[in-house]
A and B are shown apart, each in its own frame.
Chain A
Amino acid sequence: MNNDLILLGHGSGGRLSHQLLDDLIIPQLSSVPVKGQNDAALLNIGGVKLAFSTDSYVVDPIFFPGGNIGDLAINGTVNDLAMMGARPLCLSVGFILEEGFSKEELSRILASMRQAADAAGVAIVTGDTKVVPKGKGDRIFINTSGIGALEHNLQIDGASARVGDKIIVNGCIGDHGIAVLSAREGLEIDSGIKSDSAPLNGLVTGLLTLGPALHVLRDPTRGGVATTLKEIALQSGVTVTLNEESLPINPGVKGVCSILGLDPLYVANEGKLLAMVAPERADEALEIMRRHPLGRDAAVIGEVTETSAGKVQMETLVGGMRGVEMLAGEQLPRIC
């Protein structure tokens, strides 16, 4: 195989993405070694602690059940800041538009961006627009960057998982990925599934009241819950054990996954977070989540069981045990 080319799988959020970052991008751009990746950088500027994050959105189709590329771009960066325990303050927006893109569609996207920003309580304060010739882009790409305030002294990151921690998810997994997939041309599946795209900063504000019992927050976007947990297990040097029976999964998501041979554990989410919480405060964390509209279906899905290996394993529905790995390349539908 030729290893000189960028493949679609390098953008999947799975192991290929990690290899690209670790082997090429980070070593060339950063003089400081980076151990694992968190959702945002933490900055201390003259004694003021900030979180800073950026993300680009290239989703196809741009309109899908439950949202569009615009609100996704706002929620995504808001969530990346929130996952560091920061209060999102303001965002920048960069548009790359393809010649011939409809102004009406752009207007709809802008309206939903404004609505999403208002819902998250963030301001869009700067931006940029470029237009590329027809055929040199795919209608619209959006980049958002954001700054958030860190108003606590807690250590919340992917390297802070500890043995005994309970792993909590705020609701059903895989909705976003399946909603987008179902809306894709050529795949006429009426799954009834809507994207879960939503700002999670309100939910995080509640969880921060747990104080030092809150160890890790991470949104399982591309690569899904499996890849995100594997990242955390590697960053923290722990073994995570999931319980398949307790995974909240919408029946529609289960159905589409079963037809296409996909695993919901690897399907993208845009309004979900994984929290790792000290066991003695886990029930309280669950209560906090369930009181919030975005956490009604919150569930404990597993725990950190050992201090070694960077491993994720799962007790299956039927009581068997199996390993869980990072997404390898793209998740591709199987033949039969």
Chain B
Amino acid sequence: MNYSDVFRDKELVQGLAKRIAELTRGRTEPLVFMEVCGTHTNAIYQFGLRSLLPPEVRLISGPGCPVCVTPNSYLDCAVALCRLPDVIIASFGDMLRVPGSSSSLMEERAKGADIRVVYSPLDAVQLAAKNPDKRVVFLGVGFETTAPTIAGSILAAKAQGLSNYFVLASHKTMPQPMAILSADPELQVDGYICPAHVSAIIGADAYRFLCEEYKVPCVVTGFEPTDVLQGVEMLVRQAIAGESKVEIQYSRVVRWEGNAKAQAMLADVFTPFDAPWRGIGVLPGSGLRIADKYAEFDAELAIPVQVEELKEHKGCLCGEILKGKVAPFDCPLFGGKCTPESPVGACMVSSEGTCAAAYKYGR
């Protein structure tokens, strides 16, 4: 048996589902738990976990997909950059399909732009070293999980003395949108399935203020089926007992204080800023931009470019879906005008997007 198979044991999973059903039997109002991590969304759909839970427990998806929360304006800037003749755009794969105001990187690649899919930001640094006559721009998107590796790439480029490596940075940090959602009177969230990878960096203590200020239970949960269901069971127990505290289900990876080294790297290379979130708006201090001392690597500053006028897609409910207020199937565009091949909104683009997961697994 593989290490991961232990966490996918059918009997354990069925046992957890049964316990959750017993705990919640007879409730008139369902308990609503939100996951704010795209990998959780994907795992819940991929393993069919909703079909195992009783109707008294509802899982909804929040703003957990880094691609989905990236606004059109960022994509427009990336598109403008890729049209420059001496620029190579290096990106993680799932950014390519995201539609901007009038184009996407995939479309630009088909027209001849030099856009490379890389698997690590360090590959992009290598690309810059191998192409001294080009400017390589890495699309720095993602939460606290991805940001340290991108900070590392900037430090590596500096150490190598590269002057042709840049990052178009639009990193987001997680606790702020959770606070906004907790304060939203239209949304009743009975608990958060807190992200696993993000929490490994920032530590479980980062959610304590949510429990104190908003009285909402938080459980840091792993990605395997037994992890998710055990996390749900812990949330159910807290909700029934009227408690609101942070618990760590994913104790094999996550610590209360997080990863000090990664945090130090983030504090050195990045600086917090008021970041725009697709569909949610600008959230104070919720993003990471490149710190002034590393400004030479900031694509936005170093490569001036004319960006097209911002156009938002009409009828797209990504914003409401990212806030957990609307389910994918309730969006009028879902599966018709908006499909993974021709996405209108970002939730349909990334494999971690709520709509993409619902389209792929949920129909």
Contact = CB atoms under 8 A, between A and B. Distances in A.
A109 B111 CA distance: 32
Contacts, number: 134
Interface string A9-23: 100000110010000
A7 B106 contact: yes
Interface residues of A, number: 40
Nearest to A332: B93
B48 A336 contact: no
B341 A260 contact: no
A260 B119 contact: yes
A18 to B, nearest CB: 10
Nearest to B90: A186
Given A251-B2, A317-B10, A335-B146, A322 B362 contact: yes
Interface in B1-33: 2, 4, 8-10, 13-14
Interface stretch (A80-88, A93-101, A299-307, A323-331): A323-331
Given A318-B47, A334-B350, A336-B66, A1 B99 contact: yes
Given A261-B351, A328-B341, A334-B94, A320 B197 contact: no
A316 B47 contact: yes
A317 B352 contact: no
Contacts of A19: 341
B249 to A, nearest CB: 17
Interface in A1-51: 1-3, 5-9, 15-16, 19
Interface stretch (B137-145, B179-187, B277-285, B317-325): B137-145
Contact of A317 (B47, B97, B362, B363): B47
A58 interface: no
Given A1-B107, A328-B339, A336-B145, A322 B46 contact: yes
B168 to A, nearest CB: 14
A263 B357 CA distance: 12
B312 interface: no
A318 B51 CA distance: 11
Interface residues of B, number: 59
B204 to A, nearest CB: 18
B362 A319 contact: no
Contact of A335 (B2, B51, B94, B339): B94
B360 A325 contact: yes
Contacts of A16: 341
Contacts of B363: 323, 325
A321 interface: yes
B14 to A, nearest CB: 6
A261 B145 CA distance: 15
A315 B13 CA distance: 14
16 contacts: A1-B342, A5-B111, A260-B119, A316-B46, A318-B49, A322-B45, A322-B51, A325-B359, A325-B361, A328-B356, A329-B341, A333-B92, A333-B117, A334-B92, A335-B352, A336-B38
Given A319-B14, A322-B48, 5 more contacts: A5-B111, A8-B110, A15-B341, A260-B119, A324-B361
Interface of A: 1-3, 5-9, 15-16, 19, 186-187, 245, 251, 254, 258, 260-261, 263, 314-325, 328-330, 332-336
